[in-house]
Amino acid sequence: MRMGPAELVQAAAMARRFYLEGKSKIQIAEEFGVSRFKVARVLETALERDLVRIEIRVPAELDAERSDALRARYGLRHAVVVESPAEEQDDAPDPENLGEVAADLLGELVAEGDVLGLAWGRSTIHMAAALDRLPPCTVVQLTGVYDAGTAERGSVEAVRRAAQVSGGEAHPIYAPMLLPDPATAAALREQTGIARAFEYFDKVTVAAVSIGSWEPGISTVHDMLSDEERAHYASLGVAAEMSAHLFDAEGRRVGRDLGERCITVEADRLRRIPEVVAIAGGQRKAAAIGAVLRSGLVTSLVTDTAAADYLLTESAAGVRPALERADPDGE
């Protein structure tokens, strides 16, 4: 039925009280001398008659619908999807805006007194460079160094930057991520500075990690190995790597002997960290991201629309809620 002018004015006034002034339906009912049920009907009618328009707005680069769908599908604590670059190159690394968004997310997640762990990765390094706010916290490096050829992009520098922003202690690791053999790696782990950083691993409350697919330029570990070693691990079905841990398409760990040669946080310790945020995107990493999500090591994800579209359409078989932190190997 058509609303008369008195009804329109009343509806507009009630809507203003409710939506703009934050008054409750009971308060509005008392003011206008009607029941709260009448107020509820008027507000509902105001929406139906287009007197009130509710608009949910997020920054243009964030895709709220995909973010919520991805969070629900994988049982994540947080999923943030950003728009992919207009022209994504096949050989491009993670979009740099992932790091910027992840920096804002860490600003939300990290609380005073937390221990923040940072693993090596281009996206985590971009994130550290974009940090402009962090409460006082301790920052520890979770993996050894992979020298990409530019000092400003190193993981040690990322740890220092995060600690500088937070005003907390920094515990970097001055050692390569991959060593020639297990004995050398074991000896390095006993060195005072490295051992001190490892002591903080069980205290980490929030961690930021990167994900790589088993391809040149898309996986740090892949690029550090010899051709023979790459072929060996490929024969085991490796589909993804994270912090020098290798995973098959179902999220099961493979090639565990590699970890004995690496300076990195152990998978069981990573699984005990309350909040592990993975930062990775792009079409070439999409399948690898899905594999790591199945591993139970990650609780939250920052990605882009290209990867999200793949993750939302791939088979749901084997997908378990990430927050269960379940190990696919049953260990």
Residue 165 resides in a domain: yes
Q: How far apart are CA 214 and CA 6, in angstroms?
A: 68
Q: Do 265 and 155 contact (CB within 8 A), yes or no?
A: no
pLDDT, position 150: 40
Q: Does 7 share its domain with 104? A: no
* 327 found inside a domain: no
What was the pLDDT predicted at 149?
A: 42
The pLDDT assigned to 147 comes to: 58
Q: pLDDT tens for the chain, 331 residues: list them.
A: 567 777 888 888 999 999 989 999 999 999 999 999 999 999 999 888 888 887 665 555 788 889 999 999 999 999 999 988 765 554 455 677 888 899 999 999 999 999 999 998 888 888 999 999 999 999 999 999 875 444 445 778 999 999 999 999 999 999 889 999 999 999 999 999 899 999 999 999 999 999 999 888 777 788 888 889 999 999 999 999 999 999 999 999 999 999 899 999 999 999 999 999 999 998 889 999 999 999 999 999 999 999 999 999 986 666 778 888 888 886 5
Structural domain span for residue 41: 3-47
Instruction: Report the Cα–Cα distance between both ends of the chain, in Å, rounded.
Output: 65
Alpha carbons 109 and 226: distance in angstroms, whole number: 39
Same domain, yes or no, for 231 and 286? yes
Residue 52 covered by a domain: no
Let me know if residue 233 belongs to a domain. yes
Residue 258 exposed, middle or buried by CB count within 10 Å (0-12, 13-18, 19+): buried
Query: Based on the domain organization, do 25 and 109 belong to the same domain?
Result: no
CA distance 59 to 323: 27
CATH number at residue 15: 1.10.10
Q: Which of 47, 68, 83 is the last residue of a domain?
A: 47
The answer to whether residues 184 and 298 belong to one domain is yes
Both 15 and 164 in one domain: the answer is: no
Does some domain include residue 310?
yes
pLDDT tens-digit profile of 54-74? Answer: 766 555 578 888 999 999 999
Number of separate domains in the chain: 2
How high is the pLDDT of residue 317?
A: 63
At residue 85, the pLDDT reads 73
120 in the same domain as 71: yes
Q: Which of 80, 150, 166, 84 is nearest to 118 (CA)?
A: 166
* pLDDT at residue 151, rounded to an integer: 41
- pLDDT score, position 92: 54
Question: What is the CATH classification number for the domain harbouring 199?
Answer: 3.40.50.1360
Q: Where are the alpha helices (DSSP H) in 200-325?
A: 220-224, 227-235, 267-272, 286-294, 305-313
229 with 293, same domain: the answer is yes
124, 160: one domain: yes
The runs of H, that is alpha helices, within the chain are: 5-15, 25-32, 36-48, 64-74, 96-109, 122-130, 155-166, 182-189, 192-199, 220-224, 227-235, 267-272, 286-294, 305-313
The string of DSSP codes covering 98-136 is HHHHHHHHHHHH--TT-EEEE---HHHHHHHHH-----S
* pLDDT at residue 10, rounded to an integer: 86
Phi, psi dihedrals of residue 39, rounded to the nearest 5°: -60, -45
Whether this model's pTM surpasses 0.95: no
Q: Is 70 helix (H, G, I), strand (E, B) or coil?
A: helix
- Give residue 1's pLDDT: 58
How confident is the model at residue 289, as a pLDDT?
95
Would 330 be classed as within a structural domain? no
Residues 67 and 43 in one domain: no
CA separation for the pair 126, 233 (Å, rounded): 29
Q: Tell me, yes or no, whether 181 and 305 share the same domain.
A: yes
Q: 173 and 200 share a domain?
A: yes
Q: Given this model, what pLDDT does residue 215 score?
A: 84
Cα angle, residue 184 at apex, residues 288 and 246 outer, rounded to 5°:
10
Residue 224 domain-assigned (yes or no): yes
* Beta-bridge partners for 80: 302
Q: Is residue 188 part of a domain?
A: yes
